[in-house]
A and B are shown apart, each in its own frame.
Chain A
Amino acid sequence: MSDSTINSTALPPREPSALLGGFNWLARTLATVAATLFGLLVLTFFIGRLLPLDPVIAILGDNASQSAYDAMYRQLGLDRPLIEQFATYVGQVVQFDFGRSLTSGNPVLSDIARVFPATLELATLSILIATGFGIPLGVLSAMYRDSPLDYIVRVLTLLGYSAPNFWLGLMGLTLFYATLGWVAGPGRIDFVYEYTLTPITGFLLIDAPLLGEWQAFANAISHIVLPASILGFSAMAYIARMTRSFMIEQLNQEYVVTARVKGLSWAKTVWVHAFRNIAVQVITVVALSYAFLLEGAVLIETVFAWPGFGRYLTNALLAGDMNAVVGCTLLVGTIFIVLNLCCDLLYHLLDPRTR
């Protein structure tokens, strides 16, 4: 066998190790994900059992006789040792059976599948608004530090930080819905459309166009624009402030002075060179903001009668509906893990030092 034959048929020497490296990364990641979710499961399950909330009363009501109470207590398996209850529960969860919600009577997964799209839709629009305004405002504020523009941005972001969403929501509804009539009121969509749209994905902003229901689509937009803007305003404040802070730090670096000395425009220096260096940090901030929005904005969901995930989780917790609480907690954990993974991948793409 000649050398040339060897060279032409053998794989390049780096590829097997790259493949192996990729496999190792995947295996490590999956193990980390599994360990994190299991840890969450353990914590939530046992904390749930320690909470002074009674799931039996959540089902039977305060009026139930003791015999009915005892029967339901046994039916829920609460008379069995805690470790046995946990083992049974884990056995169900690995088969994606999170049990039934004690309050709605539905399988927890189907409840989550119903409420999560409402939150995902709201959070996604909010983060788009927050990012679309927050990053440019943060960069501009840093570029024109101590200028009137900077002061305006700082006051705006301070307002976004300090004004409670709950209050902003009610004020927004009073002004834009009740007084000016610019937007539709609480809820995801008007009643006339609500039960004529057949859910396909559960996302109204997707389902309505898919079904050709353009009026319903416009109505859904009109409903979502205010809560999304208010949520987006808070997230925008955080993103803008952090972006400003990262950018100011970069603009003090020597390479910026060098670029300017070489004749590069101020805008190009900032947006092309400096921004590239803060991109990784900004992505982290955006991802964290998105994760918190996805976790559910309980107060905004309450004010806007938004049938979302945050309110579902809060109600489940207050009612002692631990099946729903554990299911939701695992979903929140998964959201954070997925967003972390997305961030890691983006780091790889944007920052050669992390490769």
Chain B
Amino acid sequence: MTPPSSRYRRLLAAAAIALVSPVVASAATPPNTLVMAWNIDAISTFDPAQIGEVVTDEILRNACDTLVDFDPDDASHVVPSLARSWSLSDDGLTLTFDLREDMRFPSGNPVSASDVAWSMKRVVELGFGNAATLEEYGFTADRIDQAIEAPDAHTLMLHFDRPYPQELILQAIAANRVASALDRETLMAEEVEGDLGNRYLTNHTECAGPYRLRQWNAGEAVVLEANGDYWGEAPKLPQVLIRHVAEAGTQRLLLARGDVDVARDLAPEDLRNLDGSDGIEVVKALKPQLFYLNLNNGDPIFANPKVRQAMRYLVDYQGLADTVMAYSGTPRASFVPLGSFGALDETEGQPFRLDLDEAKRLLDEAGYPDGFETRLIFGTLPYSAPIAQSLQQNAAKVGVRIELERMANAQLFSRVRGREYQSAIQSWMTSVADAHGMASRLLYNPDNRLEARQSMYPSWRAAYYSEEVNQEVQAALLEADPAAREARYHALQREMFEQGPFAILFQMYDVAGKRAELHDWKANGFRVYYDLASK
């Protein structure tokens, strides 16, 4: 019998060592790499025209600079990014950006204003969900060629159809992913069947930003590496690894062992246990995202505003905030998130508490002294089920019998978009720190007819329509005086406490557990700044 080859012997030896050795456990994270555990199942592409998920948006914001950026310390303001300055014309209809001159894409191609213009027009042309971001401010397909122009390599002009508030426009358009600069030359070389590089961007980022995508394996990991051609300060950690870890308990173990620097999906009980423990810190930032009870106003029961208000008194805001929503959200009944222009303060923006007597009185007035039966649908978010159960128990005490139905998120979205529900638990996030971001979708409804299918408006999905509210939302939007504008939003919020289509429940936090040795973890409601983090 011939002896096994040396390679084979080494294989056997390594296997034996690995099986018996107690010292093979992982080391700490590499000093030059930011390692995160995060559920990144939602990623499907890195095309700024197409993405909509929070995860991809955050990653892309670290790879693709936009014309301006949210101030890391105060998300209600913007700071220069691709554009070093900007000015608004006297008539308020033209916003002109002056772009930096020293910018290059990772391919070596220079970044010019025409790349930004092309990228923005591309969003409208492709027509994915993000086209609505531009269309909402008048950049529709029929006028986009005239509305966005690049007279020279470093000047970009946006011509609006109406004089919108400058700060709102800067946040809604210029700081949005739709205003990033894509490498036109590279993308057009990769174009397939007129897709403007959409397929190529499934697993590439061809833009100017501190990082670039090195690798994405769906359901496994995302690896970013520093962009050597970046115009700004180089990231302190030149590599970012985001490992897909769906299970919160596993994320906790990885964080506790030091195998990740940050865990992004920890459960409330894990956060409670980790908060204050040695070597680990819990960090959170309020997001402009509302978690709400969606009531179909097309249903005869919920068409009655008194019933909708009764539902608000059936929510145990504080009880939930202290338990399932600890670390996840703060009670908020106003449609304007805290931190946004026009928001009522913390106290006035949350006037409700669990009050069964008040709920019963409202139901009596609404003509439902014996309550009613209804069905509540909700998805797979971890806190949806306990909130639904809490509501069900409280409602039962005043005769409202709620049947609960849990389903996959995709099915939930489909049912709600088709108005095939009575009530649902959902969330909605805006991309601006301005009351208009929520008012324009949660209250304004351009056409309530079923066949109009304005399904990107939660107001339409809830069959909520008020001509007066529509007019007020538009008037507040175009109000030139900031103080008067703010007053309009305050009044609208107070009105919605009684008449609003939904029962707003919580404003959500972006919460993470991080190792103490990771410094400068900067997060605001819109993004995390990977390039600022250090070890």
Bound pair: A and B? Answer: yes
- Which A residues are within 8 Å of any B CB, using their own CB? 51-54, 57-69, 71, 101-106, 111, 114-115, 170, 173-174, 177-178, 180-187, 190-192, 194-195, 209, 212, 214, 217-219, 221-222, 225, 302-305, 307, 311-312, 315, 318-320
B389 contacts the other chain (CB 8 A) = no
Q: Is the CB of B127 within 8 A of A59?
A: no
- A103–B131 CB distance below 8 A: no
The reply to whether B257 and A66 form a contact with Cβ atoms under 8 Å apart is: no
Given known pairs A64-B456, A65-B135, A177-B253, the reply for A209 and B7 (CB within 8 Å) is yes
B408 touches A318 (CB 8 A): yes
Closest to B22 in A: A182
Quick one: which of B244, B257, B415, B417 contacts A185, CB cutoff 8 A?
A: B257
Taking A63-B129, A177-B253 as contacts, is the C-beta distance between A53 and B219 under 8 angstroms?
A: no
Nearest CB in chain A: distance from B435 CB, A = 19
Number of A-B contacts (CB under 8 A): 199
> Do B215 and A195 have beta carbons less than 8 Å apart?
yes
| CB atoms of B25 and A191 under 8 A apart | no
B1 on the A face (CB < 8 A): no
Asked whether, in the complex, the Cβ of B11 is within 8 Å of the Cβ of A190, the reply is no
User: When the two chains form their complex, are residues B131 and A318 in contact, meaning their CB atoms are under 8 A apart?
Assistant: no
Beyond known contacts A191-B241, A305-B244, A307-B219: 19 more, CB 8 A cutoff? A53-B414, A57-B417, A61-B50, A61-B52, A64-B52, A68-B132, A71-B127, A104-B219, A105-B203, A106-B218, A182-B24, A183-B24, A186-B254, A191-B33, A217-B11, A217-B14, A218-B17, A222-B21, A303-B247
Question: In chain B between 461 and 495, which residues have their CB closer than 8 angstroms to a CB of chain A?
Answer: none
With A and B bound together, what is the CA distance between A231 and B111 in angstroms? Answer: 52
Instruction: State the CA gap A181–B259 with chains docked (Å).
Output: 12
- What's the minimum C-beta distance from B384 to chain A, rounded to whole angstroms? 15
5 A-B residue pairs with CB within 8 Å: A61-B53, A63-B129, A190-B26, A195-B214, A320-B411
**A185/B25 in contact, CB under 8 A:** yes
B85 at the interface (CB under 8 A from A): no
Of all chain A residues, which has the CB nearest B24?
A222
B35 close to A (CB within 8 Å)? yes
Q: Does B409 contact A (CB under 8 A)?
A: yes
Known: A65-B131, A177-B25. A195 touches B223 (CB 8 A): yes
Known: A104-B44, A303-B249, A305-B246. A65 touches B456 (CB 8 A): yes
Contacts of B455 in A (CB 8 A): 64-66, 69
Within B404-420, which residues are at the interface with A (CB < 8 Å)? 407-411, 413-415, 417
CB nearest to B415 among chain A residues? A52
Is there contact, CB below 8 Å, between A52 and B14?
A: no
User: On chain B, which size bracket covers the interface?
Assistant: 35 or more
Say which residue of B11, B35, B129, B215 sits within 8 Å of A60 (CB atoms). Answer: B129
A44 to B358, CA, bound (A): 51
Query: Is the beta-carbon distance between B253 and A217 smaller than 8 angstroms?
Result: no
Give the residue among B30, B33, B221 with the most A Cβ atoms within 10 A.
Answer: B221
- Chain B residues contacting A212 (CB-CB under 8 Å) are 7
Provide the B129-140 mask, 1 if CB < 8 A to any CB of A, else 0: 111100100000
* In the complex, per-residue mask of B2-20: 1 if CB is within 8 Å of any chain A CB, else 0: 0000010011001101110
Residues of A within 8 A of B245 (CB): 186, 305
In the complex, residue of chain B having the shortest beta-carbon distance to the beta carbon of A311: B219
Cβ distance B488 to chain A, nearest Cβ, rounded Å: 26
- A178 and B253 contact, Cβ closer than 8 Å, known pairs A217-B14, A305-B243: yes
Question: In the complex, which residues of chain A have a beta carbon less than 8 angstroms from the beta carbon of B417?
Answer: 54, 57, 62
Asked if B254 contacts A302 (CB within 8 A), the reply is no
B29 proximity list for chain A (CB < 8 A): 191
Of A114, A174, A191, A315, which is in contact with the most chain B CB atoms at under 10 Å from its CB?
A191
User: Would B30 and A302 count as touching, CB distance under 8 A?
Assistant: no
* Alpha-carbon distance A157/B15, docked complex (angstroms): 27
CA distance A297 to B11 in the complex (A): 28
Cβ contacts B102-146/A at 8 Å (1 or 0 each): 000000000000000000000000011111100100000000000
When the two chains form their complex, are residues B202 and A105 in contact, meaning their CB atoms are under 8 A apart?
yes
The answer to whether A64 and B415 have CB atoms under 8 Å apart is no
Cα–Cα, bound, A57→B53 (Å):
12
Q: How far is the CA of A307 from the CA of B216 in the complex (A)?
A: 13
A185–B253 CB distance below 8 A = yes
The answer to whether A182 and B218 have CB atoms under 8 Å apart is no
Question: Which B residues touch A209, using CB under 8 A?
Answer: 7, 10-11, 14
Please report the C-alpha to C-alpha distance between residue A184 and residue B21 in the assembled complex, in whole angstroms. 11
Selected contact of B129 from candidates A61, A115, A195, A219, CB within 8 Å: A61
Q: How far is the CB of A61 from chain B (nearest CB, A)?
A: 3
Q: A189–B454 Cα gap in the complex (Å)?
A: 47
Which residue of B is nearest A178, CB measured?
Answer: B253
B269 within 8 A of A: no
Whether A185 contacts B26 by the Cβ 8 Å rule is: yes
Given known pairs A186-B254, A318-B409, the reply for A302 and B202 (CB within 8 Å) is: no
Task: Tell me the bound Cα distance from A211 to B185 in angstroms.
Answer: 38
B127 and A62 contact, CB distance less than 8 A: no
B196 close to chain A: CB less than 8 A: no
**In the complex, A111→B256 CA distance in Å?**
32
Contact string against A for B residues 28-42, beta-carbon threshold 8 Å, 1 for contact and 0 otherwise: 011001010100010
Determine whether the beta carbon of A315 is less than 8 Å from that of B253. Answer: no
